[in-house]
Amino acid sequence: MSQPVPALVTLDLWGVRRGRVPSAVVAMARDRRPVRRTPGLTFAKLLGTGDGRTFTARDADPHHWGLIATWADIEAADRFESSRVVSRWNARAYERLAVRMTPLSSQGRWSGREPFGRPVAQPYDGPVAAVTRARLRPRLAATFWRAVPPVSLALRRSPGLLLAVGIGEAPIGLQGTFSLWESAQALRGFAHGAPEHREVIRRTRDTGWYAEELFARFAVVRAVGSVGGTRVEVGT
């Protein structure tokens, strides 16, 4: 189901210390209903994170948790900032990255929906973010996992990359990435210039690893905070 292009997309990542991990795990289940009932919210996913190097369970990072959400208007996102959900996460976290962005392009589906709509392509070369998400076909997962490490290494060596984090609704099978870039040109340089990435794209077409996939690109309005001690300030 296609949705209208949202006025704003937010991604929040919270870092919690070891003693707060159990409460974070509980919150992942408890917060689903109140998040979905938020006025003005059109799509949301509570996310676990990982380093994204293999997309297997050993990548999982129990100290960082996230929320991606789309909004019908900016005011709704502003009101959510003072909600109980955000207040509780802020209280348990020792760090937070808050990203605000608008869709530039989106292809594919997430849980049967097109949460970022179908944006009309426009010239843009400011700071950008990319979100990928895929649901693996179980019988092909092993071949996919073997193909990931070279691409992950090439990504982290890419000029212009500010941050890359593995994200997903589950440690295995429902996985993706969030990456933040200095410019659209830097993202294109990796997407079209890295041989490792081009090879995985080719194998994706030939092998059919995914039962569902999505790739979206965003103009970054603002990104402030840190993840794992890496400080980010964009649009401030």
Tell me the average pLDDT across 228-236. Answer: 90
For 111-143, the pLDDT digits (tens) are 999 999 999 988 898 999 999 998 888 776 777
Whether the per-residue pLDDT at 209 is higher than 90: the answer is no
d(CA 75, CA 40): 8
**pTM assigned to the model:** 0.91
Tell me the average pLDDT across 84-108. Answer: 97
Tell me the average pLDDT across 214-234. Answer: 96
Whether the per-residue pLDDT at 197 is higher than 70: the answer is no
Q: What is the DSSP string of 92-156?
A: H-SEEEEEEEEEEEEEE-BTTBBTT--PPP----SSEEEEEEEEE-GGGHHHHHHHHHHHHHHHH
What SS3 state is found at 9? strand
pLDDT category of residue 19 using cuts at 50, 70 and 90: very high
For 137-188, the pLDDT digits (tens) are 877 677 766 666 666 777 888 999 999 998 988 765 467 899 999 999 999 9
Token digits of residue 142: 């092993």
pLDDT category of residue 2 using cuts at 50, 70 and 90: low
Among 115, 96, 167, 161, which residue's Cα sits nearest to residue 8?
115
pLDDT category of residue 207 using cuts at 50, 70 and 90: confident
Rounded to 5 degrees, what angle do the CA atoms 231, 183, 99 make?
Answer: 45
d(CA 72, CA 41): 6
Q: What fold, for 8-223? A: Alpha-Beta Plaits (3.30.70)
d(CA 43, CA 54): 27
For helices 195-207 and 184-193, what crossing angle results, to 10°? 60
d(CA 23, CA 35): 17
CA–CA distances in Å: residue 147 to residues 138, 140, 153, 204: 15, 11, 11, 10
Q: What's the pLDDT at 137? A: 82
Q: To the nearest whole percent, how much of the chain has pLDDT over 90?
A: 66
